[in-house]
Chain A
Amino acid sequence: MKSQDFIIKVKKLSKIYKTDLLETTALDNVSFKIKKGEFVAIMGPSGSGKSTLMHILGALDKPTSGEYILDGEKVEKLTDDELSDIRNRKIGFVFQAFNLLPRTTTLKNVMIPMIYGGIPKEIRLKIAEKYLKMVGLGDRMQHTSNQISGGQQQRVAIARSLVMNPTLILADEPTGNIASHQAEEIMEIFQKLNDEGRTIVMITHEVDIAKHAKRIINIKDGKIFKDSPNHARKII
């Protein structure tokens, strides 16, 4: 297999948090690779280091040591502004708390990454409308983010994550703040996106959610202790 086929290459990644009194190792020599088109769930209890891993994968934080190559770019070497650019072009974020701008229409929320990506306004509008329709919110475009339900907010966030056509969709506990019946809808969208060939990495601690993925990486105490395909995959 050619190395270009791997979207994510993580080699001996460590992250150590230092305070005056103690050093905490959040990630300890983690190595793995993710191919284009995979749907990976990273699982682990709280404090396992999965959030730290998510921040590094999302180019939101830099590792203490090790190497992280995202779509051919060495992320750990980049400056703050270059990281912003990488996040903008290559990563679509879906957060647990949705993180939409309050009192702002869903349409505007979805357009934000494209503003920073330097996409002209007319094109922005078309793309935003397209993805909002795709997540089933074509009739909610002028609603502000606090006028819609949690599940709908997360769907807006998914639409927002897609507008820059990213290499990787990174979801951090995407169903953590949503009622369970709506959670299924969210997972359905992720599955559909994966079927279309998009690479998805999802951090979760819920088994029910992780079982939608094709591959599950289990983390404990900053180390990978299990990395295996999910044969019992639940398909909606």
Chain B
Amino acid sequence: MLGKLFSKYKIEETWELFTESIGTLKLNKMRTGLAMLGIIIGIGSVIALVSLGQASQQAVQSRIQSLGSNLLTISPSSARTGTVRGAAGGGTTLTNEDAKAIENSTQVTTVKNVSAEYSGRLQVVTGDSNTNTTIIGATPIYTLIHNLAVSFGSFISERDLVSMTRVAVLGPSVVEDLYGDSTYDPSGQTIRINGQNFIVVGVTETKGGSGMQSQDDRVYVPLTTAQKQLFGVNYLSSIAVEANNAEVMDQAVNEIGYLLLSRHNLSDPSKADFRIMNQEDILSTATEISGTFTSLLSGVAAISLLVGGIGIMNIMLVTVTERTREIGLRKALGAKKKTIVTQFLTESVILTFVGGIIGIILGIVISYLYAKINSSSFVITLNPIILAFVVSVAIGIIFGWYPAKRAANLQPIEALRYE
């Protein structure tokens, strides 16, 4: 009976403490608001910055993955002569035969698809519009290896390759540059590349990316047409290779490496006139970089949270000083130290708790607006929200502790005398 009464009293007491604290905070709306502001900004920036960091990390990952999965890129590099190394990409050592050898050799067992490519920048003209863009000489397998899809018409066919037809598939950026509208279907139109007429047979889907690296700012023509008619070369600028799966990437690098070394009559791997780059390596490096970026942002946000906490402590100390008489009275009327500590801690935790909630909402809104304005992806995960929540309550306890303790240790006579 007594125990029951007691526990009921405990709940009642907690509830009373809570409502009383809210009442006190309401009495000083301006101060309460200002105290909360620090926490709101701190938590808000943590949520927003973590969200932006995660979004950019995801964007980098998806962009790299959109280049193709399990992809190896072989590019020529001038053979080393002594310590001098030729410029990357300027080499002429990769040939169509190399690509065919990788595809057909019995030495290479881990490769699924091979795409021989030649690229260079040329002027593209139609009517009175013209643009300087990357021309890629491609084979039909190109779309498969690079996860490229065609939105209008079709991609380059085997027949185009064999008969060296002058057909072109445009990237959406090129369509926009030439026709002023990226949704326009230019199939059947004639464009001039380097002074030669090409018939547009298709448009690729948007893949994103920007500047020179954009996969949308490209014109695809048959590889043979590019080599013989546009650039007058008989070598490749790169060979893209899709391995069977992610586990055999290293083996594929080795197999291809030895095959090409022997084909190029080189015995020393350090003198290789080509380079093999692993897509996974690029991906993990990029992920690591954007991860570092995210933690850097979170660090900055954490500092603002700390400043917010100090703000809370400051306000609570002012409150304690201002309410010295009240505290003295409460102690004179029988309040124990624990009661006073609890009262002040409750106030500071309510401050940071409410501030934390507002901050979380603010952070979500900011990152949503950012994503909307920049038409980037909006990523919110539960972890930073839970973390922000816990941190804001912890800040209330940690930074509220000292003022609360100071209040509790006030001597009732000193406090009652205080004017």
Q: Do A and B come from one complex?
A: yes
A71 to chain B, nearest CB (A): 15
Contacts of A112 in B (CB 8 A): 330, 333
List the B side residues contacting A103 at CB < 8 Å: 27
A84 touches B331 (CB 8 A): yes
Contact A101/B326 with A61-B413, A118-B9, A120-B5 known, Cβ cut-off 8 Å:
yes
Q: Name which of A41-49, A87-95, A210-218 contacts chain B.
A: A87-95
Residue of A with least CB distance to B16: A115
Assuming the contacts A60-B332, A101-B329, asked whether A121 and B413 have C-beta atoms less than 8 A apart, the reply is no
Of chain A, the residue at the smallest CB distance from B329 is A99
> B332, A58: Cβ atoms under 8 Å?
yes
Q: Which residues of A contact B66 (CB under 8 A)?
A: none
Output the least CB separation between B79 and chain A (Å).
87
Cross-chain contact A84 with B27 (CB below 8 angstroms): no
Q: CB-CB < 8 A to A118: which residues of B? A: 9
Kindly state the separation between the CA atoms of A160 and B332 in the bound complex, as whole angstroms.
Answer: 12
With a CB–CB cut-off of 8 A, which chain A residues contact B5? 120
- Determine the chain B residues whose CB is within 8 A of the CB of A115 once the complex forms: 13, 16
Q: Please encode chain B, from 304 to 332, with 1 for each CB lying within 8 Å of some chain A CB and 0 for all others.
A: 00000000000000000000011001111
Contact at A55–B12, with CB atoms within 8 Å? no
Question: Does B29 reach chain A (CB closer than 8 Å)?
Answer: no
As a 0/1 sequence over residues 1 to 31 of chain B, the CB contacts with chain A under 8 angstroms (1 = contact) are 0000100110011001000000000010000
Q: Does A32 contact B (CB under 8 A)?
A: no
Q: B334 near A60 (CB under 8 angstroms)?
A: no
Bound: A120/B13 CA distance, A: 9
Contacts of B413 in A (CB 8 A): 55, 60-61
**Known A84-B336, A112-B330, A113-B333; 6 more pairs at CB < 8 Å:** A60-B416, A115-B13, A115-B16, A118-B9, A120-B12, A160-B333
Minimum distance in angstroms from B282 CB to a CB of chain A: 66
The answer, yes or no, to whether B412 is at the interface (CB within 8 Å) is yes
Interface string of B220-232 (1 = CB under 8 A from A): 0000000000000
**Complexed CA–CA distance, A121 and B10 (Å):** 11
Q: A84-B331, A120-B8 are in contact. Are A99 and B337 (CB under 8 A)?
A: no
Q: How far is the CA of A95 from the CA of B412 in the complex (A)?
A: 13
**Which residue of chain B is the closest to A117 with respect to CB atoms?**
B334
Within the complex, what minimum Cβ distance (angstroms) separates B411 from chain A?
A: 8
Does B144 lie at the interface of the complex (its beta carbon under 8 Å from any beta carbon of A)? no
Contacts of B332 in A (CB 8 A): 58, 60, 87, 93, 99
Residues of B within 8 A of A23 (CB): none
Contacts of A5 in B (CB 8 A): none
In this complex, what residue of B is CB-closest to A108?
B20
Query: Residue of A at shortest CB range from B9?
Result: A120
Q: Is A81 an interface residue, CB under 8 A from the partner?
A: yes
| Residue of B with least CB distance to A89 | B334
Contacts of A81 in B (CB 8 A): 336-338
**Known: A118-B9, A120-B12, A121-B12. Is A93-B336 also a contact (CB below 8 A)?**
no
Interface residue B339 (Cβ < 8 Å from any Cβ of A):
yes
Evaluate contact between B337 and A80: CB separation under 8 angstroms: yes
Contacts of A101 in B (CB 8 A): 326, 329
Verify A88–B334 contact, CB threshold 8 A.
Answer: yes
Give every chain B residue within 8 A of A80 (Cβ-Cβ): 337
Q: Are A84 and B334 in contact (CB under 8 A)?
A: yes
- Verify if B335 is at the interface (C-beta below 8 Å from A): yes
User: Please, which residues of chain A bring their CB within 8 A of the CB of B337?
Assistant: 80-81, 84
Distance between Cα atoms of A61 and B414 in the complex (Å): 10
Q: CA A116 – CA B338 in complex, angstroms? A: 11
> In chain B, what residue has the closest Cβ to A112?
B333
Min CB gap A124→B, angstroms: 10
User: Is there an interface contact between B12 and A88, defined as CB atoms closer than 8 Å?
Assistant: no
Shortest CB distance A81–B (Å): 5
Q: Which 5 A-B pairs have the closest CB atoms?
A: A88-B334, A116-B334, A81-B336, A113-B333, A60-B413
Q: Does A85 lie at the interface of the complex (its beta carbon under 8 Å from any beta carbon of B)? A: yes
Beta-carbon contact of B335 and A84 below 8 Å? yes
Measured CA separation A164–B329 after assembly (Å): 16
Question: CB within 8 A of A116: which of B9, B27, B335, B412?
Answer: B335
Contact B329 A88 (CB under 8 A): no
Per the bound structure, the CA–CA distance linking A164 and B335 in Å amounts to: 13
In B387-419, the 8 Å CB interface with A consists of 411-413, 416
**A116→B339 contact, CB < 8 A:** yes
- Identity of the chain B residue whose Cβ is nearest the Cβ of A121 in the assembled complex: B12
Contacts of B334 in A (CB 8 A): 84-85, 87-89, 113, 116-117, 164
Q: Given that A99-B325, A120-B12 are contacting pairs, would A60 and B412 also be in contact in the complex, using a CB cutoff of 8 Å?
A: yes
Known: A99-B325, A99-B416. A93 touches B333 (CB 8 A): yes
Q: Using Cβ atoms and an 8 Å threshold, which residues of chain A touch B333? A: 87-88, 93, 112-113, 116, 160
CA distance A6 to B29 in the complex (A): 51
**Nearest CB of chain B from residue A122's CB, rounded to whole Å:** 10
CA distance A91 to B338 in the complex (A): 21
